[in-house]
C-alpha cells in the first residue's frame, strides 16, 4: 500500500479512503492493516520498509525515544500537540509514502478542536487519532475530566470534526460503549487498546491476558460491526508484545489489523525495527493463508466445527451461511450424533444476536413438570418448593437465541404454550398473571419425523409449520463416508491427545474398517471409537486390533447382479455425471471395500486405487 509519489505528502496524494481499500486500490476485500506508532523519522522509515500500512505520529513515541516510559505522554509537562507537529513535520511528513496520522491530545484545555483539525489538515497529515487518550486514566480521573468537558466525549467530537474535514479518523477505545460512540461518530478505524504494553523495562505489567484480550476484541468488534458492518477494527497494547501474540488476538477476535507502539520502536536498531514490522505483517498474512488451506482441506464448515467436503455437508454449510443472519425460526433435523447442536451454534454465531450467549435446553432430558418451569420460569410460591422467583430459559434468552433440542419429545400442553410464545412473543411464568414480552430467536432440533407425528396427532400441526419455516437436514455419517478420513484426522488432533498423546495416526486396514462400518451412532460414535482405540494402543498408530467388533450392519452390501459376459456398468449406465461420482457410488454400495467395488466396476484394483487418489476419495 504505497503512494503514487513519495515526494508528495500523503494527505493530498493518498487519501484516507485509498489506503483503506487494500492492495492496488481495490475495495473488493479488507486488507490486514499494520500500523506503527512512532516518535522519530528513522523509526518511521524503518517501519515503512518493514511493510507498515500507516504511521501514527504520537508524543508517546517521542517520549519513549527520549528515555521516558510511554505513560509519560499523559503528563501535562509540555504541549503534546505542538510536540507532534514539530517532530512529524521535520522528520516524517514528505519523507515516507504511507499515510501519517496525527496523534492529538483532546484533553488539553488549551486546544481549540476546530483550529487543531484545521492545522493538522494544512500540515499534510492523512488523519487524526485520539492519543493520548483518557481511556488510560483511572475512572475517577475520567469522570473529573468529563465534568470539565475534557473527557472521552471531547475526543469523539474531535474525530467527528476530523471526518468532516476529509481526514481519516482512528478512534482509540477500551470498552464497547466507547467503541459504539466512535462508530456513531463515523471514524474509519476502531483501535481496541488493552492498556500500556508490557514491552520495555519501564512499562507497567499488563493486567489483561491474551485470552481475555481475544474475548474482549471478539465481543466489542461484533457490537461495533452490527452498527457499521464495514468499519475496520484493530488491536494494540496490553499483553501483545510479539507477532505471534498479535496473530492470536487478531484471529480469535476477528480483528482487521494491529498497531504496534513500544513493541516496535523500543528496539534500538533501525534494522531491528524494520524486521519487527515485517514480522508482524508476515505472521498475519501467513495465518490467513493457513486458514484458506485448512478450508480447502477440511471444508468450509471447518469454522463451525463441521468437518468434511462431501456434497451433503457442503449443502448444510451453504444453507447456514444463507440463513444465519436472519431471525427466521429454523428446524434442524437429523439422527443422533450428527452435530445438530453444532449447526445451531453456527446459526447463532452468524446472527446479529451473537453478542449474547445462546441458551440451550434438551426437551428430552427433563420430565414435563420440570421442563415447564425450566422454559417459562415461576413466581415465588407458585408450587411447593418455589421459595423464590426464577426466570425461565425464554426470558434468559431475551435478545439472543434459544435452542430447543429434541423438540419432538415436547408434550402437547407445552406445545401449546410454545406456540403462544412464537405467535405473540409473550411468555407467562408459572403462578403469574402477567405476560412478559420477549425477543428470542428459536432454533429447534429433532431426530424424529415430525410429519409422521403430525399425521398421528402426536405433534401439533400449527406448531410444526411455525417451527419449520426453514429446515436444515444434517446428513448421517453413512451418507458422507468420504468425510471419515478427514474426521479421523480431526479427532486425532483435537480429542485423542487427551487420552493418549502418543497416538498420531490410523493405519490403512483400520481406516478401511472405519469406512466400512455403518456408524449408527454417527460422528459421536466415531469419536468414541477413536478415543477407546487410543487408550488401548501401545504404539503411535491405531490398528485393527484396537478397534471394537463392529455390528453386522457394517458388512458390505451384496454386489449388484450382473449378466454373465456383460460389460461392467459405465458412468452413463449408472446415471453418474462424472467418473468420480461413478466410483464413489460403487464404493458406497460396498462400504468402501475396494476389492468388491473394483470387481463391480470392471477395474483392476491398482487402477481403482490410482483413481481414488486422483479424486481424493481416501
Domain residue ranges of the chain, discontinuous segments joined by +:
10-295, 303-473, 489-554, 556-618
Whether the ω angle into residue 194 lies within 30 degrees of 0, i.e. cis, is no
Q: Which three cell numbers stand for residue 492?
A: 486425532
CB-based contact 475:312 (threshold 8 Å): yes
CB-based contact 611:579 (threshold 8 Å): yes
Report the distance separating Cα 212 and Cα 195, nearest Å. 13
Residue 494 has pLDDT above 50, yes or no: yes
CB-based contact 39:62 (threshold 8 Å): yes
Percent of the chain whose pLDDT exceeds 70: 76
Report residue 360 CA to chain centroid gap: 20
DSSP state of 430: B
**Res 59: pLDDT:** 77
Q: Which three cell numbers stand for residue 126?
A: 492523512
Report the distance separating Cα 360 and Cα 252, nearest Å. 23
Highest mean pLDDT among 192-196, 340-344, 509-513: 340-344
Highest mean pLDDT among 75-89, 212-226, 266-280, 406-420: 406-420
The pLDDT-based confidence of 211 (bands split at 50, 70, 90) is confident
Between 39-53, 494-508, 601-615, the lowest mean confidence (pLDDT) is in 39-53
Residue 366 has pLDDT above 60, yes or no: yes
The kind and range of the H/E element at 587 are helix 579-589
Report the distance separating Cα 322 and Cα 316, nearest Å. 10
**pLDDT digits 0-9 by tens, 503-556:** 988 988 888 888 888 888 999 999 999 999 999 999 999 988 898 876 333 444
Residue 455 has pLDDT above 90, yes or no: yes
Which residues fall within 8 angstroms of residue 427, CB to CB, at 6 or more apart? 376, 377, 392, 394, 395, 421, 435, 436, 438
CATH fold label, 303-473: Rossmann fold (3.40.50)
- Calculate the alpha carbon distances from 581 to 446, 574, 585, 612 in Å: 30, 10, 6, 11
Residues forming beta bridges with residue 405, ordered by sequence position: 362
CB-based contact 95:3 (threshold 8 Å): no
CB-based contact 57:103 (threshold 8 Å): yes
CB-based contact 418:412 (threshold 8 Å): no
Residue 371 has pLDDT above 50, yes or no: yes
Mean pLDDT of the chain: 78
The CA angle 280-135-148, to the nearest 5 degrees, is: 150
The pLDDT-based confidence of 20 (bands split at 50, 70, 90) is low
Residue 155 has pLDDT above 50, yes or no: yes
CATH fold label, 489-554: Helicase, Ruva Protein; domain 3 (1.10.8)
Which residues fall within 8 angstroms of residue 479, CB to CB, at 6 or more apart? 310, 312
- Calculate the alpha carbon distances from 335 to 161, 339, 406, 477 in Å: 58, 9, 11, 10
Residue 60 has pLDDT above 90, yes or no: no
Report strand pairing: 127-129 vs 541-542.
Answer: unpaired
CB-based contact 467:407 (threshold 8 Å): yes
What is the C-alpha R_g of the chain?
Answer: 30
**Res 180: pLDDT:** 92
CB atoms within 10 A of CB 73: 25
List the one residue out of 324, 199, 342 whose CA is nearest residue 262: 199
Residue 425 has pLDDT above 60, yes or no: yes
Q: Which residue has the higher pLDDT, 77 or 147?
A: 147
- Calculate the alpha carbon distances from 597 to 369, 512, 585, 600, 613 in Å: 54, 13, 9, 5, 15
Between 71-75, 115-119, 160-164, the lowest mean confidence (pLDDT) is in 71-75
**Res 283: pLDDT:** 53
DSSP state of 364: T
**Res 618: pLDDT:** 60
CATH fold label, 10-295: TIM Barrel (3.20.20)
Report the distance separating Cα 534 and Cα 492, nearest Å. 9
CB-based contact 440:400 (threshold 8 Å): yes
The pLDDT-based confidence of 461 (bands split at 50, 70, 90) is very high
CB atoms within 10 A of CB 357: 12
The CA angle 282-285-286, to the nearest 5 degrees, is: 85
Amino acid at each position: 500500500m504505497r503512494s503514487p509519489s513519495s515526494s508528495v505528502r500523503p494527505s493530498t496524494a493518498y487519501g484516507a479512503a485509498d489506503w483503506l481499500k487494500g492492495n492496488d486500490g481495490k475495495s473488493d476485500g479488507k486488507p490486514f492493516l499494520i500500523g506503527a506508532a512512532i516518535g522519530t523519522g528513522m523509526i518511521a522509515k524503518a517501519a515503512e520498509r518493514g511493510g507498515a500500512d500507516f504511521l501514527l505520529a504520537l508524543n508517546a513515541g517521542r517520549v519513549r525515544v527520549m528515555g521516558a516510559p510511554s505513560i509519560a505522554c499523559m503528563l501535562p509537562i509540555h504541549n503534546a500537540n505542538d510536540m507532534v507537529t514539530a517532530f512529524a513535520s521535520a522528520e516524517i511528513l514528505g519523507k515516507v509514502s504511507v499515510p501519517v496520522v496525527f496523534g492529538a491530545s483532546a484533553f488539553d484545555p488549551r486546544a481549540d478542536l476546530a483550529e487543531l483539525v484545521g492545522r493538522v489538515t494544512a500540515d499534510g497529515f492523512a488523519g487524526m487519532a485520539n492519543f493520548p487518550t483518557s481511556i488510560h486514566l483511572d475512572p475517577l480521573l475520567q469522570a473529573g475530566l468529563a465534568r470539565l468537558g475534557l473527557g472521552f466525549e471531547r475526543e469523539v467530537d474531535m474525530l467527528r470534526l476530523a471526518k468532516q474535514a476529509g481526514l481519516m479518523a482512528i478512534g482509540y477505545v477500551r470498552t464497547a460503549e466507547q467503541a459504539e460512540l466512535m462508530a456513531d461518530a463515523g471514524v474509519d478505524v476502531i483501535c481496541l487498546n488493552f492498556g500500556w504494553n508490557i514491552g520495555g523495562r519501564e512499562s507497567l505489567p499488563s493486567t489483561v491476558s491474551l485470552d481475555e484480550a481475544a474475548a474482549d476484541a471478539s465481543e466489542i468488534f461484533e457490537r461495533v460491526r452490527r452498527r457499521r458492518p464495514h468499519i475496520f477494527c484493530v488491536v494494540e497494547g496490553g499483553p501483545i508484545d510479539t507477532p505471534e501474540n498479535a496473530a492470536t488476538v487478531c484471529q480469535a477476535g476477528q480483528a482487521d489489523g494491529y498497531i504496534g507502539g513500544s513493541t516496535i520502536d523500543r528496539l534500538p536498531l533501525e534494522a531491528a525495527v524494520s524486521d519487527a514490522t515485517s514480522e508482524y505483517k508476515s505472521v498475519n498474512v501467513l495465518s490467513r493463508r493457513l486458514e484458506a488451506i485448512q478450508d480447502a482441506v477440511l471444508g468450509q464448515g471447518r469454522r463451525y466445527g463441521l468437518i468434511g467436503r462431501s456434497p451433503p455437508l457442503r449443502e448444510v454449510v451453504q444453507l447456514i451461511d444463507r440463513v444465519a443472519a436472519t431471525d427466521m425460526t429454523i428446524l434442524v433435523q437429523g439422527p443422533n450424533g450428527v452435530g445438530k447442536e453444532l449447526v445451531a451454534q453456527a446459526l447463532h454465531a452468524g446472527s446479529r444476536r451473537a453478542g449474547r450467549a445462546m441458551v440451550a435446553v434438551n426437551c428430552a432430558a427433563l420430565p414435563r413438570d420440570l421442563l415447564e418451569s425450566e422454559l417459562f420460569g415461576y413466581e415465588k410460591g407458585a408450587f411447593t418448593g418455589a421459595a423464590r422467583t426464577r426466570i425461565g430459559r425464554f426470558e434468559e434468552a431475551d435478545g439472543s437465541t434459544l435452542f430447543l433440542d429434541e423438540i419432538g419429545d415436547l408434550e402437547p400442553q407445552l406445545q401449546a404454550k410454545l406456540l403462544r410464545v412464537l405467535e405473540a412473543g409473550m411468555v407467562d411464568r408459572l403462578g403469574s398473571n402477567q405476560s412478559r414480552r420477549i425477543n428470542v430467536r428459536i432454533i429447534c432440533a429433532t431426530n424424529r419425523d415430525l410429519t409422521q407425528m403430525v399425521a398421528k396427532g402426536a405433534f401439533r400441526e400449527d406448531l410444526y409449520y411455525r417451527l419449520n419455516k426453514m429446515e436444515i437436514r444434517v446428513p448421517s455419517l453413512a451418507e458422507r463416508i468420504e468425510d471419515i478420513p478427514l474426521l479421523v484426522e480431526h479427532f486425532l488432533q483435537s480429542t485423542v491427545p487427551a487420552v493418549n498423546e502418543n497416538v498420531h495416526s490410523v493405519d490403512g486396514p483400520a481406516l478401511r474398517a472405519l469406512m466400512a462400518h455403518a456408524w449408527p451412532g454417527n460422528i459421536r460414535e466415531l469419536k468414541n471409537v477413536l478415543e477407546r482405540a487410543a487408550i488401548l494402543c501401545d504404539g503411535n498408530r491405531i490398528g485393527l486390533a484396537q478397534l471394537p467388533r463392529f455390528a453386522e450392519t457394517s458388512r458390505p452390501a451384496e454386489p449388484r447382479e450382473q449378466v454373465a459376459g456383460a460389460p461392467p456398468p459405465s458412468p452413463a449406465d449408472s446415471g453418474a455425471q462424472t467418473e468420480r461420482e461413478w466410483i464413489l457410488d460403487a464404493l458406497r454400495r460396498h462400504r468402501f471395500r475396494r476389492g468388491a467395488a473394483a470387481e463391480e466396476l470392471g477395474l483392476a484394483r491398482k487402477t481403482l486405487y490410482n483413481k481414488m487418489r486422483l479424486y481424493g476419495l481416501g
